[in-house]
Structure 1
Amino acid sequence: MPNKPWLQHYPAEVPPTIDYPNQNLAQFLVDSAARYPNQVALEFMGKKVTYRSLLDSANRFANALLRLGVRKGDRVAVMLPNVPQTVIAYYGTLLMGGIVVMTNPLYMPRELEHQLSDSGARIIVTLDQLLERVKKTTDKVPLDHILVTSIQDYLPFPKNILYGLKQRKDGKAVTVQYGGGVLSFTEFLKQSPATPVDVKVDANEDLALVQYTGGTTGLAKGVMLTHANLVANTIQNRMWFYKAETGKETMLAALPFFHVFGLTVVLNQSVYLAGKMILLPRFEIKQVLQMINKKKPTTFSGAPTMYVAVINHPDIDKVDLSSINVCISGAAPLPHHVQERFEELSGGKLIEGYGLTEASPVTHANNIWEKRKSGSIGIPFPDTEARIVQPGTLEDMNPGEIGELAVRGPQVMKGYWNRPEETAKVLKDGWLLTGDLGKMDEDGFFYIMDRQKDMIIAGGYNIYPREVEEVLFEHPDVEEAAVAGIMDAYRGETVKAYIVLKKGASPDPDALKSFCKERLAAYKVPKVYEFRETLPKTLAGKVLRRKLIEEDMDKLTDQKSG
């Protein structure tokens, strides 16, 4: 790659190459606790945890694991929402050289079973509310221990008492039977010393995380991310956000930590910056707006659907968004009008970035304060190379031509856990073939057209759902839109639009069709429109196109059998 046209657009403050420390990822916490011991690291429903206290708990957790016989390289699953216990278990495992397996709390036994058996996890940390689901799984995949905690364990007084009373009143209270491998998280910590734990790791070789990805096309694969991968990506993100002030940032943590975007851009980044994280166990728009009003976060990274929810909330005029300086949007394409409206409301910057689990995850982002381009994922991060290649080969395409995006850099994974053949398919000479179709312009800005598997081929034409969605988002009545290809006897596939309307708007497929016809070639215009209350999403806010297509297939099967 002799030519890197994007470097001319780097801000003066961002170096094209960085010297990354060879260290345990948890060293970020050790350093911040040494420099800012009394700074609040986590705030959860009014409970404040300082850096000193967080490191103390992480060391206790690490010592407790060692006492249980867990050793360097053993896998520890963490199945929790964004609560203090997640952060403690994560850093505690890293400190003693263990490998964290972040697990989605929404997983059903079948999904969990695959993840636990595939990773060979020995221990899982979970909520009392999820214990039954975990136990169903462990009948088939035995674990050494299940560590159980409750939301109320880290609530301040009197909220902890009131929470318990409300759970009982709502019939949601869970009585946990301890023993037989089921241990109490709080007791587990209490019975261990806070002596510093420093198990030596080889950052380039030793894994910090096995992060599961995919699952939409068969079983999810475990992505092996080393300490070096995650350290590099955290520092790359921090360099990009060069105006960030150490010890002074407040991050709204609405992105789940079990998703690698939330893990790197919010959790690792905040701890590296000795920032404060406002933890939200789930994205609930009313609570998010209250927190912004009350806690004045300076950064709020999320998925486009989160910003859509903010700008369309009926009470948005009563919310003060002015504390927000920077938002990084990822996990899905960011519609231009959403970006404009959010920036208008907050006065801050909302930029689109790009990444994938296999790259820890961020590889590209638009400049925050300098030149950016609408519809673009921006330019490659420091030390990150990117090319557009002929799918299936590593032959370079010319600027403006569509091909597969390939990336190379210190954040690119070691490979897939126990899947050498799958690894060989996507890693070629250090280049990661992303499976995403894109193009690069003459300036070195990159654009993602779509996932290869999401591309619609109708009557021989290639149609990129993102392009059609962008147009639908421009319609004043549309709050959310997703586009997918459905079976068509004549064209092979045809374009279908799934629409969530703004409050008070009426479904009018003809008007939407006319709107699209003025802005798109005829073959790209959706032929079918379905109006819905909601779109299925991951907890990270990504719309599940596959789920929409599966629902349609199921309806078709029912009609045929009926």
Structure 2
Amino acid sequence: MDAEVQRPWLAHYPEDIPKHIDYDEKTLQEYLREGAEREPNKTLLHFLGKEMTFSEVYESSLRFANSLRSLGVEQGDRVAIMLANTPQSVISYYGTLMAGAVVVQTNPLYVERELEHQMVDSGAKVIVCLDLVYPRVMNVLGKTKLEHVIVTHIKDYLPFPKNLIYPFIQKKNTGLKVDVKYGRTTHSFVQLLKSADNQEIPLEVNPKEDLALLQYTGGTTGVAKGVMLTHYNLVANTTQCIKWMHKLDHGNEVILCALPFFHVYGMTVGMNFAVMDRSKMVILPKFDTKQTLQAIEKQKVSIFPGAPTMYIGLINDPTVQKYNLSSIEVCISGSAPLPVEVQQRFEDLTGGKLSEGFGLTEASPVTHFNLMWGKRPSGSIGLPWPDTDVAILSAETGEPAEPGEVGELIIKGPQVMQGYWNRPEDTGATFHDGWLLTGDMGYMDEEGFFFIVDRKKDMIIAGGFNIYPREIEEVLFEHEAIQEAVAVGVPDPYRGETVKAFIVLKESMDVTEKELNDFCRERLSAYKVPRLFEFRKELPKTMVGKVLRRALLEEEKEKQKEKVTS
């Protein structure tokens, strides 16, 4: 198969982008240590007015590593990080690696059933969480192997007087005031670091074989699986990203980190990029249009990785013209298709370049990207990154497809995962002769540009989040009134897609949309809850009784067309 890969895309590489890279066989934390040694006083992160230098982040990470060791964490153990973007999330990430442990990134939006599954599956020994999610963690603690909980607060790393004001703002916005009961197994993040030493822990790590991260994803099914990514996988993908941005002033850029670090995309093109490139990251705990516009102007942000919903939100903000966004040089768009009109409007607004790429968690995550300064065919996901081989397998023959022929996208490269955690059968089904089978249908044109025509089976992408219908359907089926349920992604002008559930009720049973909404919200993260419900007497099915999901999608598209033309 390797001999048949022609790589026509290499002809489009500018001279400054290497066709092959010699990747460092280093751990991720070595880059933080080198930054602290060579430029100790250089600012690494800015967080709502608080700044920390490379040496400060490095020392804090060492203290966190030693804290983990004092709690019994050994090399190879898993440590879960359930944090929004904060200095603590950076410190916890690199500190966990310095302790020789494996990071398990955990979405703070997870409800208890999702959290329990991930903790049980990963076997995490320690979890670091925000005070706001502490009650959820405690409710699942006894069902997992978690031995210790480390709790932190947003205010812990805010400058004065914001650190005093923030708890009142938090209570006003959330209605919550969480009382954390510290003790033998529940610890304060700040106090742990104060009492720990800052000595390096001697480790023997093989970057190509030893895991740095378990990143959970549904893959091509609805079962959340831990993607095993090594230090080498993540270093390679971040290096590819740095080399692709060939016109930047490396070491002096300012990266807006509004994409969550608990998502591998935000982790690679935001946090790891900043550390390895020795650039400054401007961290936002969540995406807010006003806060983002202010950050771009005040901090002179030059790199803005995001999802299309972020760019849509900014260009439609009524105050956007009041801000100077001219510092923007490049915007890296991923997680969902980027509408051409959004790209054009954002580039007109900032004068920078906004290009779309493609990736998946199993590839750390980026595999393709459009050129920032070069040809960008409309609708294309771009060219494969250096050392990334890509082929299209014909849906009809299973052989390599001709240019323009639609088939399954398969990938091989240094960023591709080792496999799924404790799931050898799933791993075997996802690889073929060393190639990662993406499940995405697409084609390559004559010049080597790639296009996606259909996504992984039935996956929904809403606001950049991957949502698997099966998980929603399983929750709906738990309701006593529901006989049949199917969830699909329908077009949404802001989120890209939104979740719609088609419901068939049991005879003589009844339920309202509000009741179903409340039912789902107790069992699913907010972004997975159906926004639309439609009750039907029956659902379209095949001869063997399988629901024709595609037929429902086609009906929705027809409805959209009728709305536009009426």
- Give TM-score scaled by structure 1 length: 0.82
Q: Is the 8 A contact 2:119 2:145 kept in 1?
A: no
1:14 equivalenced with 2:14 (yes/no): no
2:350 is the alignment partner of 1:346:
yes
Equivalent residue number for residue 40 of structure 1: 43
Equivalent residues in 2 for 1:161-200 (5 A)?
A: 161-167=164-170, 172-200=176-204
Q: What's the offset of the Cα at 1:394?
A: 4.9
Distance 1:423 1:501 in 2: 35
String of CA shifts for 1:371-429, please: whole Å, max 9, x gaps. Answer: 22121010000000000103497511110011110010000000000111111111112
1:215 CA displacement: 7.7
Is it true that 1:423 corresponds to 2:427 in the alignment?
yes
Alignment gaps of 5+ in structure 1:
456-464, 470-481, 485-492, 503-542
Residue 457 of structure 2 corresponds to which residue in structure 1?
Answer: 453
Question: CA separation in 2, counterparts of 1:220 and 1:392?
Answer: 30
Further displaced range: 123-132 or 164-173: 164-173
2:80 corresponds to 1:77 = yes
* 1:42-441 alignment, distance < 5 Å: 42-167=45-170, 172-214=176-218, 217-391=221-395, 394-441=398-445
Q: How many angstroms apart in 1 are the aligned matches of 2:164 and 2:488?
A: 53
Q: Is the 8 A contact 1:285 1:310 kept in 2?
A: yes
- Aligned partners of 2:487 and 2:28: how far apart in 1? 47
Closer/same/farther in 2, CA of residues 161 and 558 from structure 1, 3 Å limit: farther
CA-to-partner distance for each residue in 1:406-454, whole Å, 9 max, x for gaps? 0100000000001111111111122101011100000000001121414
Alignment partners' CA distance in 2, 1:309 and 1:216: 29
Q: Which segment is superposed worse, 206-215 or 192-201? A: 192-201
Q: State the distance in 1 between where 2:537 and 2:348 align.
A: 47
2:61·2:94 contact (CA, 8 Å) conserved in 1?
yes
Look up the SS of the partner of 2:207 in the other structure.
coil
Alpha-carbon distance in structure 2 between the residues aligned to 1:21 and 1:557:
60
The CA distance in 2 between the partners of 1:402 and 1:23, in whole Å, is 38
Amino acid at match of 1:266: G
User: How far apart, CA to CA, are the structure 2 residues paired with 1:338 and 1:200?
Assistant: 47
Q: Distance in 2 between matches of 1:338 and 1:179?
A: 51
Aligned residues: 485
SS for the counterpart of 1:314 is: coil
- SS of the residue corresponding to residue 411 of structure 2 reads strand
Between the aligned partners of 2:397 and 2:61, the Cα distance in structure 1 is 45
Q: Which residue type is aligned with residue 182 of structure 2?
A: Y
- Shift in CA distance, 299/496, structure 1 to aligned 2, threshold 3 Å: closer
Residue aligned with 1:106, SS: coil
State the AA in 2 paired with 1:451. Answer: R
In the TM superposition, what is the alpha-carbon distance from 1:33 to its structure 2 partner?
Answer: 1.5
Does the C-alpha gap of structure 1 residues 414 and 169 become closer, same or farther in structure 2, counting only changes over 3 Å? closer
CA distance in 1 between counterparts of 2:225 and 2:489 reads 29
What is the distance in 1 between the residues matched to 2:193 and 2:489? 52
What code does the residue aligned with 1:410 have?
P
Paired AA for residue 160 in structure 1: N
Q: What is the CA distance between 1:165 and its match in structure 2?
A: 4.0
Alpha-carbon distance in 2 for matches of 1:403, 1:51: 46
For 2:102 and 2:369, locate their aligned partners in 1 and report how far apart those are by CA, in whole Å: 28
TM-score, normalised via structure 2 length: 0.81
Q: Deviations over 1:158-208 (max 9, x none)?
A: 111112344466753322110130011111111111112342211111000
Q: Rate the CA distance shift 1:391–1:56 in 2: closer, same or farther, 3 A.
A: farther
| 8 Å Cα contact 1:39-1:247 kept in structure 2 | no
Q: Distance in 1 between matches of 2:321 and 2:355?
A: 22
Does structure 1 residue 552 correspond to structure 2 residue 533?
yes
Query: Hey, what does 2:477 align to over in structure 1?
Result: none
1:178–1:285: structure 2 CA closer, same or farther, 3 Å change rule? same
Q: Give me the whole-angstrom Cα distance separating, in 1, the residues matched to 2:411 and 2:448.
A: 14
Change (3 A) 1:377 1:169: closer
For 1:534, the equivalent position in structure 2 comes to none
Whether the 8 Å CA contact 1:36–1:247 is kept in 2: the answer is: no
CA distance in 2: counterparts of 1:432 and 1:501, whole angstroms:
31
SS at 1:152 equivalent: helix
Q: How does 1:473-492 map to 2 (within 5 A)?
A: none
| Secondary structure, counterpart of 1:232 in structure 2 | helix
- 1:552 CA displacement: 3.5
CA deviations 1:239-276 (Å, max 9, x no partner) are 00112223311111000000000000111001111111
Aligned 8 A contact 2:312 2:494 in 1: no
* Structure 1: distance between partners of 2:397 and 2:205: 35
Describe the shift of the 1:210–1:438 C-alpha distance in structure 2 as closer, same or farther (beyond 3 A). Answer: same
CA RMSD of aligned residues (A): 2.7
Following superposition of structure 1 onto structure 2, how do residues 475-514 of structure 1 map, counting pairs within 5 Å?
Answer: 498-500=491-493
Aligned to 2:143, the other structure's residue is in SS state coil
Contact 2:220 2:456 in 1 (8 A): no
Whether the aligned pair in 1 keeps the contact of 2:220 and 2:439 (CA below 8 Å) is no
